[in-house]
Amino acid sequence: MLTTRVIACLDVHNGRTVKGINFINLKDAGDPVEQAKEYSALGADEICFLDISATYEKRNTMFDVISKTAESCFVPLTVGGGVKNLQDFRDLLNSGADKVSINSSAVYNPKIIKDSSEKFGNQCVVLAIDAVENKSFPSGYEVTTHGGRKKTNIDALKWAKQGVRNGAGEILLTSMNSDGTKKGYNLKLTKLISENVAVPVIASGGAGGPKDMVEVVLKAGASAVLAASIFHYGIHSIHSVKKEMSENGILTRDCDN
């Protein structure tokens, strides 16, 4: 039976892993290639790189990071951040990424979802949605870009449905209200999106520990869980997350496979 994925995410800035809340006060936290290898060896079911480099030139360092990671890391690799067009998609896939996540560019140019999924297949198009609570929208959530700083005036549920219709194969759903709080994922938001789209939904933003992962799967129906900081800081291991999940009846992949 299909296991529930635990995804480790690394924020990459100018080719280095960084830590910081909401992209502020970034601290160098090492070599993303080595960390991806380590996560993979420790049982991460997928690795996700989020490139937060500010300039296009610096972003080129990412191709090198991806190709080095893909040479020795044989689990799926998702890369996002600053993807603007089909050429960016192609460059990332050619470097060794398996999936590409798009966020702001999809908001400003929705056609990119359709074009990229037609060109490369919907299995590699991940629509990343950064949602904030906003009662004036029908679903209660608004889509934001730029780490939650820019509002888009788009309803999150409507956007998710539209993205899937246009060919997104997966949704990476981040609650910007929960992100960085370590108080748990946003269950209401995750359940809402998860129950209303046909593709897998990855829960993101707010993981403070293994119990949060269990909760978002059991109560909100998440297909996969993503976390960054709890793994970076060594607060919790992938193993401890999977152990808690299996103790609660959620099937996971053995860490040593």
Partner 1 sequence: MKLIIIDFGSGNLKSVENAFKNCVYTNKLKFTIKVTNKLDLISKADHLVLPGVGSFPDCKKGLQKISGLIDLLTDEVINKKKKFLGICVGMQLMANYSREKKLTSGFGWLCGNFKKIKTNGLDYLGRNYKIPHMGWNNLQIQNKNHPILDNITGNEQYYFVHSYALDNAKTNQIIAYTIYNQKIPAIIGKDNYVGVQFHPEKSGNSGQKFIYNWLKWIP
88 assigned to active site: no
* Structure token digits, residue 93: 């896939």
Q: Which two tokens stand for residue 51?
A: 């490139």
- Does residue 24 touch partner 1 according to CB under 8 A? no
- Please name the residue that has the structure tokens 């480099």: 53
Residue of 11, 45, 155, 179 marked active site: 11
DSSP state of 142: E
CA distance 22 to 180: 7
**Residue 11 falls in the annotated catalytic set:** yes
Number of residues that bind partner 1 (CB under 8 A): 44
State the nearest-atom distance from the C-beta of 107 to partner 1, in Å: 23
Q: Which helix (H) or strand (E) holds 145?
A: strand 141-145
Tokens 């991940």 found at: 126
Told to check if 247 binds partner 1 by CB under 8 A, we report no
Residue 200 is a binding residue for partner 1 (CB under 8 A) = yes
Using the rule CB under 8 A, is 114 a contact of partner 1?
A: no
The Cα 47–Cα 45 span in angstroms is 7
Nearer to partner 1, 90 or 182 (CB): 90
- Least Å distance, CB 161 to partner 1, is 14
Considering only 56-64, 121-129, 133-141, 231-239, which stretch makes contact with partner 1 by CB under 8 A? 121-129
Instruction: Considering the complex, state which of residue 4 and residue 104 has its C-beta at the smaller distance from partner 1.
Output: 4
Region of residue 25 (left: phi > 0; alpha: psi -120 to 50; beta: else): left
> Where in the sequence numbering do the catalytic residues fall?
11, 130
